[in-house]
Amino acid sequence: MKIAMIGWEYPPFKAGGLATHCYGLTRSLTDKGVKVDFFMPKTKKSASSDKDNLRIIEVGETEIFPYDRPDSKEIGGNFFEAVYYYNRIVVSKVEKYIKAGNNYKAVHCHDWLTMKAGIEIKEKWGIPLVLTIHSTEYDRSGWIYPNQWFIDIEKEGMKKADKIIAVSHFTKRVIVDKYGINPDKISVVHNAVYPIPKGHKQGIVLFLGRLTIQKGAEFFLRAASIVKNFEPETKFVVAGDGDMLPRLITQSIDMGISDKVIFTGRLTEEEVKHIYGISSVYVMPSVSEPFGITALEAISAETPTIASKTAGFSEAFKNCLRVDFWDTDEMANKIISLLRYEPLHKTLAKEGKKEIELFTWDRVADKTIDVYCGVI
Amino acid sequence: MASVCLYFEVHQPIRLNRFSVFNIGNEGSNLSYFNKKLNQQIFEKVAKKCYLPTNNLILDLIRNYDGKFKVSYSLTGTFVEYCQQFMPELIDSFKELFRTGSVDMIEETYYHSLSSLYENMDEFEDQIKMHNKMIKNLFNYHPRVFRNTEAIFDNRIAKKASEMGYKGIITEGTEKILSWRSPNYIYKPVNSDIKVLLRNYTLSDDIGFRFSARLWKDHPLTADKFAYWINHNEGDLVNLFMDYETFGEHHWEDTGIFDFLNHLPREVFKHKHIDFVTVSEAVERYEPVGEIDVPRAISWADEDRDVSTWLGNDMQIACFNELKNIGSKLKEKGNNELINTWRRLQTSDHLYYVSTKGLEDGDVHAYFSPYDGPYDGFINYMNILQDLKAKLF
């Protein structure tokens, strides 16, 4: 079986969970004998493959990212045109491979950015389209003023796809309720994680993610301002970059906790692993979280995790703490409890690590192959 | 088979209010540890679905079979307090049952606690005496058979019960203590003179757990089928011990559980030579056939049949130790109000909610828990224990 997969990011280049997913999925697929041609944009750090069945094919440059918004400054008014342009060059690249004799059984796209290309290939060449939805416009906007332009692209892609993979039941419900898609063609496949080693815990409470409205870092800071009154030795780390960074820094100064909070900016892969390892608590206060792969990463490093009640991963995961993202008192209650009560910390770390072992890319690949088999 | 001994455990825990770290030592907040509203709601719901209709049915059965249908009950102190507060007619109903002469009352710790596992057994003894006084007041009766919380049992507990004058004690008929031997006889502990009644867990769980399980090969369970199984069990007596909430609450009325109970006496009496006995009659009539040696505590809970249900992880052990240590300090101080609060916090259910056991048992734990998982249960309970500790100084 040969699959044309159209992605956006792939390690070492990484802006979010999409890269992690594509990396884990493609490697496990090829281990199971599926041949994958992975099409992605050229980046500064070139991606490469050490697997025979996996080819990474670079398509040309682009300046758009899957998490970009049309109002983001660097892209300005050319945003929509840049998206259409990139999709066109993806189509011509894939067509070149088809004409060269590659018999793709399915074309598999991830999220909105390359849906147009997927649809065009499906319609022109009759190759079934599989779509994985990692997040929707509703998630990325935090359900505040979602942009209709994205929604229209997503809706068209979902309607025309032969099968959809949702990363959680939460996301499946959004696809059914907000996009009007038949639930029968949606399969839920929860993400997985490559475990990260545990480090020497240093009483750090960690936020790690894009600093956008979706990820809820402001709630993390509010909880931090409560925690510091009870556990004054605690350090808080906000790791990541995004359009909300200046506002968050101002917020921490206004709340009088700027001496307790470290903003690291964007971290490298190695730094991310390190910070997961040495943190004592990971908090994921996302306003909307289709899955939340970072929570699994933190838990794999034996860092107990407090996550939004609606986070997709927690549908299938027992050994974590849950809060409403807006309930910063309860978030602080749980952070303090984790810092104070060693048996709680120890049990969550131990049981979480055990449960994480069920979340393998091998399982994700199996379920994805089931979906492929349903369309060919 | 000669006798059938039915015993029902009747207990409701005192569920706790949400208590955050910010409430610890905060005198001004005046937040009670106990969630009266929730407790009343659940109690009234279970009373309507289970306690009242089952009491009525059993009373009818005793009358219809001229007192030959017999049952035994163990009522916890917390259950009786709920009756007194919210539904006094339920107490009257138990009194009426007791007056038939076909109903026996069993002793246990007033608070359904784990006090039997403290190194010092004074608190355990105190709670048994409290329960004894309560039963005396309600029924003018001194129970002759003791059963510890969730049938927790070891040599030490058996010896204590024997020293306190009980003729019989109840526990689980597990292979751990019996190996090849049958639970359908009376045994005697190696270190004391008391008769041990062992739960026949297969037949008990057929009713208690499996009755409404559609995937079970013997579903639906009928009274005649069950009576046939009883008759084919060899031994002196088959002990069917279960939660009273089995009827109408764990298995809803539409599963046919009440019909099952209604027809059970008739089907059992179809087999000649079988009768029903109370726990007191059982220990009077039958003699031990062998000894059991139980150095490590067993219980009737979960698949493990030991105390790991309450002390199976670090969080549970931390709470248990904290609770125990607070107690010894409280008693030195002699503050009765705080001692009363401390005792209410000893109800074993608080630790049950903190269990992290997976798979099947975990689902049972989740069914009973008022929390979103064991970790929330731990945080809430531990916060309350910290607050109680703060009141000591």
Give yes or no: B150 in active site. Answer: yes
Instruction: Report mean pLDDT in 10-residue bins for chain B, 393 residues.
Output: 94 96 86 94 97 98 97 98 97 98 98 96 97 98 98 97 98 95 97 97 96 93 96 95 96 96 97 95 97 96 91 96 94 90 96 81 70 94 96 84
- Considering B107, B108, B123, B150, which one is annotated as catalytic? B150
pLDDT tens digits for A39-61? Answer: 988 877 777 788 889 999 988 77
pLDDT at B242: 97
Q: Which pLDDT value is given to residue A60?
A: 79
Instruction: Give how far A337 is from chain B: nearest CA, Å.
Output: 6
pLDDT band at A142 (very low <50, low <70, confident <90, very high): confident
Contact A321 B356 (CB under 8 A): no
Q: What is the CA radius of gyration of chain A?
A: 21
Cβ neighbours of B379 in A, within 8 Å: 333-334, 337, 341, 344
ipTM (interface pTM): 0.89
Q: Is B21 within 8 Å of A340 when comparing Cβ atoms? A: yes
Residue B393 vs residue A3, higher pLDDT: A3
Confidence (pLDDT) at A72 = 58
CATH number of A2-192+360-375: 3.40.50.2000
Inter-chain residue contact B375 with A347, CB threshold 8 Å: yes
Q: Please enumerate residues of B whose Cβ is less than 8 A from a Cβ of A.
A: 20-22, 313-315, 317-318, 356, 358, 362, 372-373, 375-376, 378-379, 382-383
> In this complex, which of B22, B375, B383 lies closest to A348 when CB atoms are compared?
B375
What pLDDT, in 10s, does the model give residues A106-119? 999 999 988 999 99
- Residue A186: which residues within 8 A CB-CB, separation 6 or more? A163, A164, A165, A166, A172, A175, A176
The segment(s) of chain A belonging to CATH 3.40.50.2000 are 2-192+360-375, 204-356
Q: How far apart are CA A298 and CA A286, in angstroms?
A: 15
pLDDT class of A19 with cuts at 50, 70, 90? confident
Express each pLDDT in B348-374 by its tens digit.
999 999 998 864 555 666 777 889 899
- Cβ distance of B21 and A319 shorter than 8 Å: no
Q: Which of these ranges, A12-21, A49-58, A137-146, has the smallest mean pLDDT?
A: A12-21
pTM given for the model: 0.90
Whether the predicted pLDDT of A69 surpasses 80: no
Show residues of chain A in contact with B383, CB under 8 Å. 337
Give the mean pLDDT of A232-240: 96
CATH of A204-356, one of 3.40.50.10470, 3.40.50.2000, 3.40.50.1860, 3.90.1150.10: 3.40.50.2000
Cβ of A343 within 8 Å of Cβ of B318? The answer is yes
Residue contact A329–B20, C-beta within 8 A: yes
Q: Which residues of B touch A229 (CB under 8 A)?
A: none
Asked if the model's pLDDT at residue A17 lies above 80, the reply is no
Average pLDDT, chain A: 92
Contacts of B314 in chain A (CB under 8 A): 343, 346-347
